[in-house]
């Protein structure tokens, strides 16, 4: 090969590689609410260009959860149960496009960050703690506050579009170091198409409510009586709304009327604030329940199917399910329940699936595991227990109980240059030279 032809090939190859480095991520997918979707499925088809590195971390102060569980009492029936009201142990996030949104139980604010840099875009302050992640849809941000209101903001600038209080009065009381409504919104605000749902109230004697409105302007819909003090993230199928209740039974309601369809309870101690609806919308899991297991039910009949031993969190695709215990991560076939693999990994606080990888949250560390084999693929340190995980548009976001929010992404992205971030160009040139030397023949 002539020297001139070889040089031309090398230059064209370098240009091609650089175009890959600077191009936008393909097959990008948003993460618009806690655990990705209204089933709380925790699975995205988004693909990462591994390896990823920490790009930024922000600290917003230690979260102030609504409930601090009392220490176990020896001999008490429920002394060994895990916390069942742990829905606000970190600042969970929603990510759409180039922006991240989260609420704060500490400041009562919802904040929007630029995902590339972590810089604040806007902040909206309410009159009470915001305990659950927002839901972002149609360029609007929906969330509830302990001040008793459900809110809808413009996602671009944080301006108020509408808000509504379900409780009959503006009465407040002292709770968890803040003034809160007698009817705080302790569920997520869930959006599905033109409908938005939420619950308000945790004190049975004061009344509890479940609400449906038009998502665009907050009008219409209905307000029904909630039968439990619902807390945690709502789920929805095509015809039912599912509401966890912490230490009490989860319930299902009619989407069309708000009427109670029934409860999910196989024993007197079933409950938990984490729940999952299967991709087919036919099965429902909730945890932790009796003996710290996850309970599985038929979604429509609410009849009990099985217990998943010591499961903290579970994700399910059409063929397999994955779950974490305090000391293991396990994959099993959903058809016959045969275990595909079981590994001794202690990452008990969060679990999602991104492409062909399982991502888990532990104490001081997150881990990535190959979903096919169960092999450990990658780990990264974080400060605190990683209760929140989100993956969107080629980036991984981690929220911990110390109030930290991390972003992990590719080593080189176009915004590193477009936004004047510091980038080590010598490293990039070394990479290009190494790539060319190993893929092309030497010049004659």
pLDDT tens profile 153-183: 999 999 999 999 999 999 989 887 888 999 9
How many Å apart are CA 347 and CA 309, to the nearest integer? Answer: 16
pLDDT, tens digit (0-9, with 9 covering 90-100), for 12-33: 555 554 454 444 444 589 999 9
CA 250 to chain centre: 19
Mean pLDDT of 3-15: 52
CA angle at 188 for the pair 129 and 274, rounded to the nearest 5°: 105
What CA–CA distances, in Å, run from 316 to 40, 284, 323, 327, 405?
10, 11, 9, 20, 26
pLDDT, tens digit (0-9, with 9 covering 90-100), for 393-416: 999 999 999 999 999 998 765 444
pLDDT, tens digit (0-9, with 9 covering 90-100), for 427-439: 445 444 544 454 4
How many Å apart are CA 5 and CA 429, to the nearest integer? Answer: 22
| DSSP assignment letter at 69 | P
Q: At residue 316, does pLDDT exceed 70? A: yes
Listed residue (30, 66, 311, 81) closest to 187, CA to CA: 66
Mean pLDDT of 6-12: 52
> What pLDDT does residue 5 have?
47
pLDDT, tens digit (0-9, with 9 covering 90-100), for 212-247: 999 999 999 999 999 899 999 999 999 999 999 988
Q: Which is more confident, 129 or 418?
A: 129
Q: What confidence category does residue 54 fall into, taking pLDDT thresholds of 50, 70 and 90?
A: very high
> What pLDDT does residue 68 have?
78
How many Å apart are CA 360 and CA 377, to the nearest integer? Answer: 12
What CA–CA distances, in Å, run from 327 to 150, 330, 363, 377?
38, 10, 12, 18
The helix (run of H) or strand (run of E) holding residue 418 is helix 414-418
Q: Which is more confident, 122 or 179?
A: 122
Mean pLDDT of 314-341: 96
What CA–CA distances, in Å, run from 381 to 361, 366, 386?
10, 6, 10
Which has the minimum average pLDDT: 5-19, 59-73, 136-150, 310-324? Answer: 5-19
The domain spans of the chain are 1-25+423-444, 26-409
Q: What confidence category does residue 444 fall into, taking pLDDT thresholds of 50, 70 and 90?
A: very low
| DSSP assignment letter at 191 | E
CA dihedral 87, 91, 94, 95 (to 10 degrees): -150
> What pLDDT does residue 413 have?
52
Contact 117, 421 (CB under 8 A): yes
How many Å apart are CA 26 and CA 419, to the nearest integer? Answer: 20
Q: At residue 70, does pLDDT exceed 70? A: no
Select the CATH number that applies to the domain covering 26-409 from these four: 2.40.37.10, 2.10.260.10, 3.40.50.300, 2.130.10.10. Answer: 2.130.10.10
What CA–CA distances, in Å, run from 309 to 287, 291, 293?
11, 8, 5
Burial status of residue 306 (CB atoms within 10 A of its CB: 0-12, 13-18, 19 or more): middle
Q: What does pLDDT average to over the chain?
A: 88
What is the pTM (predicted TM-score) of this model? Answer: 0.87
> What pLDDT does residue 3 have?
54
């Amino acid at each position: 090969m002539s020297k001139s032809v070889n040089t031309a090939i090398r230059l064209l190859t370098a240009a091609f590689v650089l175009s890959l480095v600077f191009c936008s991520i393909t097959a990008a997918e948003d993460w618009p609410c806690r655990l990705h979707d209204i089933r709380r499925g925790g699975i995205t088809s988004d693909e990462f260009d591994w390896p990823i590195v920490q790009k930024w971390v922000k600290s917003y102060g230690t979260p102030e959860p609504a409930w601090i569980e009392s220490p176990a009492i020896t001999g008490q029936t429920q002394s060994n149960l895990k916390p069942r009201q742990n829905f606000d142990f970190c600042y969970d996030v929603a990510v759409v496009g180039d922006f991240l949104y989260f609420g704060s139980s500490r400041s009562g604010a919802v904040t929007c960050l630029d995902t590339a840099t972590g810089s604040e875009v806007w902040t909206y302050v309410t009159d009470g703690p915001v305990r659950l992640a927002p839901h972002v849809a149609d360029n609007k941000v929906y969330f509830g506050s302990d001040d008793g209101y459900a809110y809808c903001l413009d996602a671009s600038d944080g301006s108020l579009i509408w808000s509504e209080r379900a409780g009959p009065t503006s009465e407040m009381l002292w709770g968890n170091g803040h003034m809160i409504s007698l009817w705080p919104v302790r569920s997520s605000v869930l959006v599905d198409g033109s409908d938005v749902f939420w619950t308000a109230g945790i004190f049975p004697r004061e009344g509890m409510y479940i609400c449906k409105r038009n998502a665009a302007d907050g009008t219409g819909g209905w307000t029904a009586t909630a039968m439990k003090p619902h807390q945690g993230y709502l789920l929805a199928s095509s015809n039912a709304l599912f509401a966890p209740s912490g230490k009490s039974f989860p319930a299902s309601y009619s989407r069309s009327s708000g009427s109670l369809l029934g409860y999910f309870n196989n024993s007197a101690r079933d409950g938990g604030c984490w729940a999952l609806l299967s991709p087919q919308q036919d099965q429902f899991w909730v945890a932790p329940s009796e003996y710290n297991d996850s309970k599985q039910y038929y979604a429509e009949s609410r009849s009990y199917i099985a217990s998943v031993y010591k499961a903290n969190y579970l994700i399910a695709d059409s063929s397999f399910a994955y779950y974490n215990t305090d000391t293991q991560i396990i994959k099993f076939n959903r058809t016959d329940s045969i275990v595909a693999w079981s590994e001794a990994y202690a990452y008990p606080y969060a679990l999602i699936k991104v492409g062909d990888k399982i991502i888990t949250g532990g104490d001081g560390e997150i881990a990535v595991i190959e979903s096919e084999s169960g092999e450990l693929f990658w780990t990264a340190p974080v400060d605190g227990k990683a209760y929140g995980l989100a993956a969107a548009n080629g980036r991984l976001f981690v929220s911990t109980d110390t109030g930290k929010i991390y972003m992990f992404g590719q080593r080189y992205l176009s915004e590193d240059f477009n936004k004047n971030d510091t980038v080590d160009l010598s490293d990039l040139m070394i990479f290009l030279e190494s790539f060319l030397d190993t893929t092309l023949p030497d010049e004659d």
